[in-house]
Structure 1
Amino acid sequence: MIKWFAAFVGLMFYGYRGAILGFIIGSLIDMLTRSGGGGFRVFTQEQQVTPGDFELHLLTLSAIVIKADGRVSQQEMDYVRNYFVQAYGKERANAVFRTFNEVVKSRELEEARIAQFLAARTQYAARLQIVHFLFSIANADGRVSEAEARKIRSIAGYLRIGVKDFESLHAMFFKTTDDAYKILEIDKSATDAEVKKAYREMAKKYHPDKLHHMDEAYRKGAEEKFRRVQEAYEKIQKERGF
């Protein structure tokens, strides 16, 4: 396959880091030219993606966010590591993380191609969870920087995430006077009836059952997102007294 050839070429000319970068680029070429086949249907709709390919792309997006503010936070690195330990077990996570360290060091990471590939092959609920996961990584050191938020916004655009959906996820990590309304995707001027309707719609959209087919670590992220929707609704209920 192209990715292994590219990895070999990278190894010959640039050493281990070149092999990693070659594998990433080759994987993209492989997957963009592939049609049909026995892929991994857990994450997909019409097209397919293997577990390894999805894992590689998720790692790369994670590295892009970690590097967005010009520094590599150990807390953010640990967050990614713990995610893969929960998802795949310690032994496999250690192997994956060795690759991740090299991906983080790489200077050539193309967010547009990676995110657009995932957008074509994953369900919308899964893409929402990817964005939430990226925000969680950025928040692992205690705050999401503006540079990280801008980078995640850019990735979300390539993932075809709607503006309101992005603002809802963004509001879960940035405390403002109207964050509860933003999470529910409504204005502060909304009526009580509109607030209740918005909550029902958001609870349905973010319900963890939509990601029942994904790994445990991913489902926990979905449960956290669902909990934030409930908290936002309860906050507005308390403010308005209904």
Structure 2
Amino acid sequence: MRKFASWIGAGIGWAAGGPIGAALGYLIGTALKGAASDYSEFQADNIKNSSTQAGDFEISLLFLAAVVIKSDGKILQKELDYVRQYFVQMYGKQRANNAFKLFKGIVNDTSLSTQEVCYQIRNHMTIESRVQLIHFLFSIAKSDGHIAKIELETIQDISNYLLVSQTSFDALKAMFYNHTESAYQILEVSKSDDNDRIKKSYRRLVKLHHPDKLSHLGKEHLKGAQEKFLKIQQAYETLKKERGF
């Protein structure tokens, strides 16, 4: 198996082309001697694949996480350590080490356009997968216990580029803040809505965010999907208890 494909597990399809693919070719070629030719061959074999594979999602996450990390104009070792640990928890130590080599190269790359990367992602990735990307970005931003204002604004910009609705963005955001309105925001309803409206919204969200919809991304990413799904269930139980239905 080619070196690059082994780095990202299941390999990539559409991410081998466009601005992401161009950046990957450069970064891998400069990071590892001899890897550029491996990537060129891999790119030629896979660029025609338009369906999202596990590797496409992983590479997209690496690029967008780097954008969030750089958003405050400072690249702190503490923040890099948080992200690396997050990758270890999600992928395991060996795979995380390989991904983090590439991640550090992305962090130091100033030429890549966030907007162009997001356009490539949104043109190939389902809305369920794009929503999951935003959920992961919130997880990484919160990994130090606090989401800075600039990080929140950056994730909002990415969400807009990915055509994730403001309602969905606010619901994801509420999963990472503890306040009395969180349950309503997670369920995309308001206090003025009646119980039937809340039940209907809950059923819609359960269908939209069920982890089975992301099974094609691999078991590593299902944990995040399950966490998001659990937040929706917990929010519903909170309102059931509060309203007595």
Helix, strand or coil for the counterpart of 1:69? coil
Structure 1 counterpart of 2:107, one-letter code: V
Q: Structure 1 CA distance, aligned partners of 2:176 and 2:92?
A: 28
Asked whether 1:150 is paired with 2:153, we answer yes
- Given that residues 212 and 219 in structure 1 are in contact (C-alpha distance below 8 angstroms), is that contact kept between their aligned partners in structure 2? yes
Asked whether 1:164 is paired with 2:167, we answer yes
Q: Structure 1 CA distance, aligned partners of 2:186 and 2:203?
A: 13
Aligned to 1:46: none
Aligned to 2:243: 240
Deviation at 1:145, TM superposition (A): 1.2
| CA separation of 1:197 and 1:69: change in aligned 2, threshold 3 A | same
| Unmatched segments (≥5 aa) in structure 1 | 44-49
Count of matched residue positions in the alignment of Structure 1 and Structure 2: 220
Deviation at 1:38, TM superposition (A): 4.3
| Unmatched segments (≥5 aa) in structure 2 | 1-16
Deviation at 1:56, TM superposition (A): 3.3
- Aligned match for 2:135, one of 132, 135, 159: 132
- Aligned match for 2:207, one of 189, 204, 209: 204
Deviation at 1:99, TM superposition (A): 1.9
Structure 1 counterpart of 2:49, one-letter code: G
Q: Structure 1 CA distance, aligned partners of 2:47 and 2:59?
A: 19
Deviation at 1:200, TM superposition (A): 1.1
Deviation at 1:175, TM superposition (A): 2.6
Deviation per residue, 1:184-231 (Å, 9 max, x gap) = 111110111111111111111111111111122211000000011011
Q: Structure 2 CA distance, aligned partners of 1:169 and 1:141?
A: 18
Q: Structure 1 CA distance, aligned partners of 2:194 and 2:77?
A: 44
Helix, strand or coil for the counterpart of 2:179? coil
Deviation at 1:6, TM superposition (A): 7.0
- Given that residues 203 and 226 in structure 1 are in contact (C-alpha distance below 8 angstroms), is that contact kept between their aligned partners in structure 2? yes
- Aligned match for 1:56, one of 43, 54, 59: 59
Aligned to 1:93: 96
Aligned to 2:49: 39
Q: Structure 2 CA distance, aligned partners of 1:77 and 1:70?
A: 14
Asked whether 1:182 is paired with 2:177, we answer no
Deviation at 1:159, TM superposition (A): 0.6
Deviation at 1:235, TM superposition (A): 1.3
Helix, strand or coil for the counterpart of 2:217? coil
Supply the RMSD in Å over aligned alpha carbons: 3.3
Q: Structure 2 CA distance, aligned partners of 1:232 and 1:194?
A: 14
* Runs ≥4 residues deviating over 6 A: none
Deviation per residue, 1:144-167 (Å, 9 max, x gap) = 111111100100111111111111
Deviation at 1:113, TM superposition (A): 0.5
Deviation at 1:110, TM superposition (A): 1.5
Aligned to 2:195: 192
Aligned to 2:26: 7
Structure 2 counterpart of 1:41, one-letter code: S
Q: Which moved more, 1:102-111 or 1:123-132?
A: 102-111
Deviation at 1:71, TM superposition (A): 3.3
Aligned to 2:7: none
Aligned to 2:118: 115
Structure 2 counterpart of 1:229, one-letter code: I
Aligned to 2:84: 81
Deviation per residue, 1:9-43 (Å, 9 max, x gap) = x98xxxx58x9xxx9xxx9xxx9xx9x95426344
Q: Structure 1 CA distance, aligned partners of 2:160 and 2:179?
A: 23
- Given that residues 87 and 215 in structure 1 are in contact (C-alpha distance below 8 angstroms), is that contact kept between their aligned partners in structure 2? no
The normalised TM-score by structure 1 is 0.77
* Identity level (%): 41
Aligned to 1:47: none
